[in-house]
Structure formats: C-alpha cells, structure tokens
Amino acid sequence: MIYLLCFVLFGVGMYGLLVKKNIIKLIMSMMISSYAIHIFLIASGFRRHGRAPVLDLSNNMQKAVMVDPLPQTLVLISIIVGAAGIALLCVVAIRLYQKFGTFDITKMKEEIED
Amino acid sequence: MIELYILLILMIIGSIIALEVRDLLSSVILVGTVGVCLSIGFIMLKAPDLAMTQLIVQILLVLILIRATISKDVRFINSKKEFGIFIIVIIGLAVFINFADEVVNNLPIFGKPIMWVSQTYLKNALNSTDVVNLVSKISLDYRIFDTFGAMIALFTAVIGVLAIGRQRSQEKD
Amino acid sequence: MSVEKRQYYFDQSKGMGIIVKTVTRLTVGIVFLFGINVALKGHLVPGGGVAGGGAIALALLSLILAFGKETALKNINRKRITMIATLGMMMFLFLGLIGLIGGNLFSTHFMDNEGKFGILKANIIPLFNIAICLLVGSGVYTIFITLIMLQVRKGSDK
C-alpha cells in the first residue's frame, strides 16, 4: 500500500510534467517525481523494528536487525546529482526569461515562429 | 506505520496544490513543505543521513527557486487550460496506476527486504576500517566510483552555471 | 563599536534591518562550525560531507541575504570560491589516484590501520569527506552568487 502511494506521487509529478506550461512548474514536477522515487527506494529497504545503519561497537547481535544501507547510499548520491541538475535548470530558465520575457513555453514557441 | 501513510497523503495533496495554484511564490513554498515532509519520512524509515542531507539541500533549492521567481511581474500565471490534453493525461495516469498495482503485488512485502548484496557489506563492516556509519562506509569504500561520478556531475553543473550565467549584456552597456 | 561600523549597522539601504543583522552576526559562526563538525564526524555519526558542505554554504548565504551582496562579496569573490571548488575536486581525484601506486586498485586504502594519526583511524574516509565538503560548499555558493549577479529583467537579452 505504501508502494502504491509512492506510485501515485510519481503520477502527480508526471501529470505536472505533461500538462503544465510554466517552466518553474515543470522544474517542480521533476523535483516531485524524484522525491517519489527516493521514498520508494528507501521504503523498499526498510525492515520492521529495525535500527539505523550505524554500528554500536559493544553489541554484536545488531547486524541482524538493521535496515538495508545500500538503497540509502544510492539515494544519497541521487540527491546530490538531482540538486545540481535542478540548479542548472533554474539558471537556464532565468536566461530564457531574459530572452523571451515570459516563462510560458507556448508563448516562446509563438515568438520563435513569428 | 500509520504516520507514514498520513505523511505520504500529505505529500500528494501538497504537490497537487503546488502544481495547481496560480501564484508562483506560494507554489515554490509548497514544494518546500513537500521536501520537509520527505525529510520527516526519512527519519521514520530509519535513514538519518538522508534526512539531514535532504533538509539542507531542500533549503538551498527553495532559495534558488525563489531567486528565479522573485521579480513581481512573473508571479501570477494567466493561461487557459486545454481540456483535451488534460483528459488524455488523466486516463494515461489511471492506466499507469492500474499496472503499478500489479507490480506492487510482486514486490517483497513492506518491512521484510531481500538484503542480498547488503549481506556482504554487513558481514565485512568492521574488517578493514573503523568506520561505524555504514552509509559513509559503503558510499566511500565499496561504491567509490558512484560517488566519484556524482561529484563529477556536481562539478560539471557548477561550470555550466558559470558558463550560462555570464552577464554578457551588462558588459556591452 | 566604532562610529563607521555603527553607521553601517543603522544603514537600511544595504541588506536587511538591524535586528536581522545582529542575529545573523551571532549565528553565522555557529552554523559554520556545525557544518565543519558534521563533515569531520561523517564516519562516526550520521552526516557526512554533503550535509556538512551544504551547512557551510547556508552560513555564507545567510551573510549575503542579511548584509547585502557588496559587503559579503568583498572578501569572498567568485574567483577564490571557484578555486576552492577546484581544489576539492582535485583532492578527491588524487586521493583515489594515490591508491594506484604499486599496482593496486582505485582508492585503495594507503594508510596503515594501526591508528597512528588519531582522527585518521578510519583510514582515508575522513579525507574523502573533507574533499566532498569543500566541493559541495563552494560549488553551491558559486551557483548562488552567479544567480544573484544575474538580473531578472524582462527582455534584457533580446
């Protein structure tokens, strides 16, 4: 059920990416989709009554009740790359605004065709 | 895990409102709240590293987005909706969710992961070094090439921002 | 406090008001030290280079937001901060390449594990965290000051 809610969140992001015309809204849709994928990956590695992946040197039996650390690593890398890409997209959006005077992609297309 | 359901439903409602509201500044702030909800969800799913990183990166991204939308004449969107595209996209998403339901039924149950690769990492956790934080250990030891690629991507983004964001028009004036 | 400094504090034209300036002056050092702490303890407690570098960048950004860009960019200009970002990237690369000496693999642990260096008991992983912290902090700061220098004006690039 939690997986299905993650899919619904991804669907919301996809909806924005397909329907919206404002560039800032498109960037936000990409952010929402990446959030959905992040929380889906983390939830797939969750163990019930588990503990965070930080070892305690005095306790030997703890490795059996630990959540999966591998998806957390992959999502950590994904957050960095996503943030860098979104910052780059924002700069591109500002340059487009300076050139066309609008954030709307259909108006940009009309202005190019004129 | 009733809190996680509430949090996810809150995130869905927040993102729908953020995409539908006409004021761009409110929309940016709503995306910020969705990111903070994601950070709380990471804490509930026992991932404290990711919670810290997500919170800090979210604040930075909201600052950058507010900087992009700060001038007052672009704040409100005036555009008419096209209902044909809207209905087609809604039908497509309904089909997508329907297939996702079958995919979810074939996944392992929530709360019981298949830890195949991680077994090796957990077994050799303290063999070579004294690194206690396993996420740091995996990302900087076993999977160093992934982190290296991420850093190259970040550095390339910085160089790209510097190249795109030059003030060429100001030098002409 | 000297007279010029006091005049500067009461000057409303640059940056925000006096309350915000005073509170920022008190908290920016704490946030900066918190970022360094998170980055250096990345192998022991949750945290790491990315979160630490982001916290450092946030401290510098709060300086810009409170005091105005002329004051903040007087000492930390774009050339120096880009140099620090390049330094972080080169540090990451060379830490990996040192492992190649003697026919080993990329990023082989080249220190001994006896704990001679105190903080380096975890071998080269804290060094990687420091490199990531430098790269992320200065890189994010570079992105933000480039955005601040860009003027959002309608049709100025036509």
* DSSP conformation letters of A57-89: TT-SGGGGGB--HHHHHHHHHHHHHHHHHHHHH
Is the pLDDT score of B172 beyond 50? no
The dihedral built from the CA positions of residue A23, B15, A36 and B159, taken in this order, carries a sign that is: positive
> Residue A99: which of C46, C152, C157 has the nearest Cβ?
C157
Q: Supply the DSSP string of B47-64, one letter for each residue.
A: -HHHHHHHHHHHHHHHHH
Is the pLDDT score of B100 beyond 70? yes
> Residue C157: which of B128, B157, B169 has the nearest Cβ?
B169
- Using the Cβ of C150 and the Cβ atoms of chain A, whether some distance falls under 8 Å is answered with yes
- Using the Cβ of C7 and the Cβ atoms of chain A, whether some distance falls under 8 Å is answered with no
Q: Which fold has domain A2-48+68-113?
A: Helix Hairpins (1.10.287)
What ipTM, to 2 d.p.? 0.89
Residues C129, C130, C133, C134, Cα dihedral to 10° = -150
Long-range contacts of C89-93 (CB under 8 A, 24+ apart): C89/B151, C89/B152, C89/B155, C89/C131, C89/C135, C91/C127, C91/C130, C91/C131, C91/C134, C92/B148, C92/B151, C92/C128, C92/C131, C92/C132, C92/C135
* Cβ <8 Å between B136 and C121: no
Chain B: closest CA distance from residue A4 (Å): 7
Is the pLDDT score of C89 beyond 80? yes
- The whole-chain average pLDDT of chain C stands at 80
What tens digit of pLDDT does each residue of B136-146 get? 888 888 888 88
Rounded to a whole number of angstroms, the distance between the first and last alpha carbons of chain B is 61
Cα distance between residue B153 and residue A29, in whole Å: 21
User: Helix, strand, or coil here: B133?
Assistant: strand
Cα distance between residue A10 and residue A12, in whole Å: 5
Which residues from A are below 8 Å from C50, CB to CB?
76, 79-80
Which of the residues A49, A91, A99, A110 would you substitute to probe the B interface, choosing the one with the greatest number of B C-beta atoms within 10 Å? A91
pLDDT band at A59 (very low <50, low <70, confident <90, very high): low
Chain B: closest CA distance from residue A68 (Å): 7
* Cβ <8 Å between A85 and B157: yes
pLDDT score of B170 = 52
What tens digit of pLDDT does each residue of C115-140 get? 555 455 667 888 888 999 999 999 98
What tens digit of pLDDT does each residue of A16-38 get? 888 888 888 999 999 999 999 99
B50 occurs within a structural domain: yes
| Residue B111 one-letter amino acid | G
What tens digit of pLDDT does each residue of B6-24 get? 999 999 999 999 988 888 8
Q: Is B71 left (phi over 0), alpha (psi -120 to 50) or beta?
A: beta
B90 occurs within a structural domain: no
pLDDT score of B173 = 42
Mean pLDDT (whole number) for B89-95? 89
Cα distance between residue C66 and residue C24, in whole Å: 7
Interface of B with A in 133-162 (CB under 8 A): 133-135, 138-139, 143, 146-147, 149-151, 153-154, 156-158, 160-161
> Residue C46: which of B49, B67, B128 has the nearest Cβ?
B49
More confident residue, B72 or A69: A69
pLDDT score of A18 = 87
**Structural domain for C52, as ranges:** 3-149
Which residues from A are below 8 Å from C141, CB to CB?
none
pLDDT score of C6 = 66
Number of domains, chain C: 1
> Residue A101: which of C140, C146, C155 has the nearest Cβ?
C155
Number of domains, chain B: 1
What tens digit of pLDDT does each residue of C27-86 get? 999 999 999 998 888 888 888 888 999 999 999 888 888 888 777 777 777 788 889 989
- Using the Cβ of B99 and the Cβ atoms of chain A, whether some distance falls under 8 Å is answered with no
Cα dist from A77 to A62, B138, B160, whole Å: 26, 11, 20
**Residue reference for tokens 């992983």:** C125
Is the pLDDT score of A14 beyond 50? yes
The pTM assigned to this predicted structure is 0.88
Cα distance between residue A47 and residue A3, in whole Å: 14
> Residue A97: which of C140, C147, C152 has the nearest Cβ?
C152
B124 occurs within a structural domain: no
Strand partners, A54: B133
Q: Which residue of B has its CA nearest to A53?
A: B134
**Structural domain for B30, as ranges:** 1-76
Q: Which residue of A has its CA nearest to C145?
A: A91
B56 occurs within a structural domain: yes
Chain C: closest CA distance from residue A96 (Å): 9
What tens digit of pLDDT does each residue of A70-109 get? 999 999 999 999 999 999 998 888 888 888 888 888 888 8
C67 occurs within a structural domain: yes
C137 occurs within a structural domain: yes
pLDDT score of C157 = 54
Residue C91 contacts by C-beta under 8 Å, 6 or more apart in sequence? C127, C130, C131, C134
CA atoms within 13 A on the CB side of A13: 20
Mean pLDDT (whole number) for B103-113? 85
Mean pLDDT (whole number) for B31-54? 91
User: Helix, strand, or coil here: B142?
Assistant: helix
Please classify residue B102 by burial: count the beta carbons closer than 10 Å to its beta carbon, then call 0-12 exposed, 13-18 middle and 19+ buried.
exposed
pLDDT score of C22 = 87
Is the pLDDT score of B128 beyond 70? no
Cα distance between residue B167 and residue B152, in whole Å: 25
Q: Which residue of C has its CA nearest to B134?
A: C43
Q: Which two tokens stand for residue A84?
A: 């860098």
